[in-house]
Structure 1
Amino acid sequence: LVCLLVFKMTNFSLKMASANIGVCRSVINIRFAYKFCSQNNIKTKLNLYAQRYSTGIDKSLKPKKSSLFITLAGLGAGALFGAGYSYLTWQTKYLPISNDGVGNIAPVLPNLPDIEISRKINIPTDSSGLQLVLFQYPTCPFCCKVRAFLDYFGISYDVVEVNPVLRQQIKWTEYKKVPVLLAKVDGGYQQLNDSSMIISALTSYLFDKNNNLRDVVKCYPSINYNDDNGIKKSEIMNRYFLMYQGDISDNRTKEEIMEERKWRKWADEVLVHTLSPNVYRTTDEALQSFNWFSEVGEWEKLFSKWEKLLVIYVGAFAMFFIGKNLKKRHNLKEDVRQSLYDECNHWLRVINRKKTPYFGGNEPNLADLAVYGVLSSIEGCEAFQDLLKNTKIGPWYFSMKTHCIEHSGSSSGQGRVTS
């Protein structure tokens, strides 16, 4: 009897549950359906939900108009804000940059930075009165240009070798390139940036004793601008120009002065770009070049062992890939050696047309020193040996080297030297 009673009560409960599900007029809860209903019941109830929503029987199932409006308004406002911000960002890239006054002038430091001097170049015949500190990489073509100038004119200077990877030696300045030159002036040390500006400013000072170095530097302001890609860049104005208070042309014509300026610029913008793809043409050449840089720069004396190895191996690996990019950027020939030969032959043809030993005539001028300085940066590399074998640059190059070693430019006395 007990079993029969339990069976009837269970059967009655099942019938009541089935009846309740059948007459339910509200939308079923999906989670409840998964737990207590069969798969067929879920499909049935979902169909019922869709039918009621589409026919409008149950208005509570439709989204409220206010919610829909707020959603659409938010999306529209976000899209409008994003489009406006993107446009302003794009437009700002191409707006001209304001340069107050005549631009930025290299600062005068009250004291010399607390950096250890790597070595001193003392020239007994130096009468320039200049006290200079050169921050450099030993085989940077632009640093080599400055050294060639100083050596030729017999000017003493101190050297600080900069670690090309870590660059701790130039952390004191916002200008993160080399060379950087510090010159002792009244009130501290005048900073000079950019190799061509350094050479032009020092030449202007040496040629005209009425010039004050701090005043000369003001003729070479730095301005900021956006390039064609919207990237902010800085450029030193007038860096190829010599600044005289009077007419001190040393009997040169205007055309000769302009030609000198033109070929100084050619050395910086054409010749120099053929070097890296040649020096770092292969991984073996890149490693050989950095080992030579280490030898010339005496890195074993200046840097710890791990710093030296870091510079050699990381530098060689990085420059191998950079050399490939530079080859494409400057449209060099597939055989990059040929591009180097072509530019050097071009330079020799210009000198030959003058029928003089140097571009400057019987004595070198600033264009000769610029080209020599750039080429001297690769003298210990395999690319330079190939250059000597495949062109006739050797006689001119080694004659220039002799002039620099012997300080030939100082023979006529600083203040009236051939430019």
Structure 2
Amino acid sequence: MSCFRLATATALPAGSGSRALRLLANRPHKELAFTRRQFAKAVEGGSGSRKTNGTFKLGLLGAVVGAATGSVYTFYTRWTDGNSHKEHEETKPARVDGLPSGVRITKRYVNPKDTSGLDIVLFQFQTCPFCCKVRAFLDYMGISYSVVEVDAVLRQDIRWSSVKKVPMVLIRQQDGRYVQMVDSSAIVSLIATYLQDKRTDIGELAQFYPHTSFFDDDGKKKLDILNKYFLMYRDHTPKGVTKEAEELDRKWRTWADNHLVHLISPNCYQTMGESLETFEWFSQAGEWDVYFPKWERDMMVYCGATAMWAIAKMLKRRHNLTDDVRSHMYDALDQWTAELKKRNTKFMGGKQPSLADLSVFGVLSSMEGCQTFKDSLQNTSIGKWFYDVKAIVEKNRGQLVRERVEGIKAVA
């Protein structure tokens, strides 16, 4: 697998201090002796005044105190968090022997023209922006897949997983086991990579998208899939794919995740009335009355609307948004359409949607039935591009089969 082209980040090699000591040990004996004599004179005050000697001792004392304080702090942080000092540790995607017992498939999209050979189970919330991104990609590519609609409050269908968030996919490997992938952008990149070259098993390709630990600017330890916007080509870049196109795709996919998506909640839940209206639309779009008991459906609507109304206020402060949250949404959409106009193309990918187009479309489709989206159509020029992408996605999508299948078998 070493032949894959992969973007990597470099770090200083471990043990650099030991090498410095070895280099010092290899110096000529006379030079070391001279150095020791000069250091001894400085400590004893033989080569300077009392004032210089006192200053040196004070500095030496400060260095010792500083080193001791740092050591105590390091020991304390390691004692309170045994793994806090570990950085750049990788956690590979998990594999499971089969679909977990009790997984309830709610619907399938079946495309008779699908030649991918993939068996995919998507765990989702119907109107989650990140889930919408994954569905937009799968639908556009004409891939068949099964859906497990997860209760947004109880999350019973993902209790088996150590990762308690969606979207999540299980994809069958050649050996019959399933590889578990999370993070919408990594899921899209993995499947897009596989579709470019099917010689490598999907489970093996998934290992190129590990979670890696790092520390952010505030010193907090984080986990992320650092190469999630990269496609892992085997021997060479596919014909017709340019470096400029790859960089453009990564730029706007990152923008969709790090900027556009953060405008959704503060807009769709800015008032309690709008929050409740949004969740009623979620219920309709996700067919909650079909897949969940009435008490569970009502709990999802009313508890979810109340929680998101409160969370939206915190998110507005976190992302430094003004009270006029609509203006931030309009500015973002104008930024996207201005780039399309500048490039003079129908889509960011040219004549056909790219991964960037599908990412932005997926995020926006998550609020299509909300007042925020209706206002955006009236106050920006996003509508034509959005519905052009939607038409292609729906044309390529497989036939929807609504069902709730009990058991562990993914495909009938």
Shorter-chain-normalised TM-score: which range? 0.7 to 0.9
Matched, 1:178 2:150: no
Output one character per residue of 1:162-221: Cα deviation in whole Å (capped at 9) or x when no partner.
111111111111111110001111241111111000000000000112232122111111
Q: Find the partner of 1:162 among 109, 129, 150.
A: 150
Q: Find the partner of 2:129 among 141, 148, 151.
A: 141
Q: Find the partner of 1:257 among 232, 246, 260.
A: 246
Residue 32 of structure 1 corresponds to: none
Q: Find the partner of 1:111 among 98, 117, 120.
A: 98
Structure 2 unaligned segments of length 5 or more: list them.
Answer: 1-69, 399-412
Residue 282 of structure 2 corresponds to: 293
Residue 246 of structure 1 corresponds to: 235
Output one character per residue of 1:224-243: Cα deviation in whole Å (capped at 9) or x when no partner.
33445554431112100000
Shift of 1:95: 5.0
Residues 187 and 123 (structure 1), Cα distance of their counterparts in 2 relative to 1, 3 Å cut: closer
Residues 203 and 87 (structure 1), Cα distance of their counterparts in 2 relative to 1, 3 Å cut: closer
Shift of 1:99: 5.3
Residue 356 of structure 2 corresponds to: 367
Q: Give the secondary structure class of the aligned counterpart of 1:183.
A: strand
Matched, 1:401 2:390: yes
Q: Find the partner of 1:120 among 89, 108, 125.
A: 108
Residues 362 and 87 (structure 1), Cα distance of their counterparts in 2 relative to 1, 3 Å cut: closer
Residue correspondence of structure 1 range 263-274 to structure 2 within 5 A: 263-274=252-263
Matched to 1:111, the amino acid is G
Residue correspondence of structure 1 range 194-205 to structure 2 within 5 A: 194-205=183-194
Residue 138 of structure 2 corresponds to: 150
Residue 12 of structure 2 corresponds to: none
Residue correspondence of structure 1 range 59-98 to structure 2 within 5 A: 88-90=75-77, 95-98=84-87
Matched to 2:371, the amino acid is E
Matched to 1:132, the amino acid is I
More relative contact order in 1 or in 2 (CA 8 Å, sep 6+)?
Answer: 2
TM-score by length of 2: 0.75
Higher mean alpha-carbon deviation, 112-121 vs 131-140, is at 112-121
Output one character per residue of 1:73-105: Cα deviation in whole Å (capped at 9) or x when no partner.
xxxxxxxxxx998774347669531555xx111
| Maintained 8 Å contact 1:144/1:377 | yes
Shift of 1:109: 0.5
Q: Find the partner of 1:378 among 367, 373, 378.
A: 367
Residues 259 and 116 (structure 1), Cα distance of their counterparts in 2 relative to 1, 3 Å cut: same
Q: Give the secondary structure class of the aligned counterpart of 1:118.
A: strand
Residue 307 of structure 2 corresponds to: 318
- Calculate percent identity across the aligned residue pairs: 46
| Maintained 8 Å contact 1:96/1:226 | no
| Maintained 8 Å contact 2:211/2:223 | yes
Output one character per residue of 1:232-290: Cα deviation in whole Å (capped at 9) or x when no partner.
43111210000011223332321221111111010000000111100001101000000
Output one character per residue of 1:42-70: Cα deviation in whole Å (capped at 9) or x when no partner.
xxxxxxxxxxxxxxxxxxxxxxxxxxxxx
Q: Hey, what's the Cα distance between the residues in 2 that align with 1:192 and 1:309? A: 30
Shift of 1:361: 0.5
Shift of 1:408: 8.3
Q: Hey, what's the Cα distance between the residues in 1 that align with 2:94 and 2:198? A: 22
Q: Hey, what's the Cα distance between the residues in 2 that align with 1:304 and 1:229? A: 44
Shift of 1:309: 1.1
Q: Hey, what's the Cα distance between the residues in 2 that align with 1:247 and 1:207? A: 11
Which structure: larger Rg?
Answer: 1
Q: Hey, what's the Cα distance between the residues in 2 that align with 1:244 and 1:86? A: 45
| Maintained 8 Å contact 1:113/1:172 | yes
Q: Hey, what's the Cα distance between the residues in 2 that align with 1:85 and 1:300? A: 57
Residues 281 and 251 (structure 1), Cα distance of their counterparts in 2 relative to 1, 3 Å cut: same
Q: Find the partner of 2:180 among 191, 199, 216.
A: 191
Shift of 1:333: 2.6
Q: Hey, what's the Cα distance between the residues in 1 that align with 2:214 and 2:237? A: 33
What count of residue pairs does the alignment treat as equivalent?
Answer: 325
| Maintained 8 Å contact 2:111/2:397 | no
Output one character per residue of 1:315-374: Cα deviation in whole Å (capped at 9) or x when no partner.
101100111111111112320000000000000011111111000001110000000000
Q: Hey, what's the Cα distance between the residues in 1 that align with 2:88 and 2:349? A: 37
More helix by share: 1
| Maintained 8 Å contact 2:109/2:397 | no
Matched, 1:216 2:205: yes
| Maintained 8 Å contact 1:136/1:143 | yes
Q: Give the secondary structure class of the aligned counterpart of 1:333.
A: coil
TM-score by length of 1: 0.74
Residues 108 and 387 (structure 1), Cα distance of their counterparts in 2 relative to 1, 3 Å cut: same
| Maintained 8 Å contact 2:122/2:170 | yes
Residue 21 of structure 1 corresponds to: none
Q: Hey, what's the Cα distance between the residues in 2 that align with 1:221 and 1:341? A: 35
| Maintained 8 Å contact 1:123/1:156 | yes
Shift of 1:117: 0.5
Higher mean alpha-carbon deviation, 132-141 vs 178-187, is at 178-187
Q: Hey, what's the Cα distance between the residues in 2 that align with 1:135 and 1:167? A: 10
Residues 373 and 230 (structure 1), Cα distance of their counterparts in 2 relative to 1, 3 Å cut: same
Matched to 2:115, the amino acid is S
Residue 36 of structure 1 corresponds to: none
Q: Give the secondary structure class of the aligned counterpart of 2:105.
A: coil
Matched to 1:89, the amino acid is Y
Residues 228 and 152 (structure 1), Cα distance of their counterparts in 2 relative to 1, 3 Å cut: same
| Maintained 8 Å contact 1:142/1:179 | yes
Shift of 1:313: 0.6
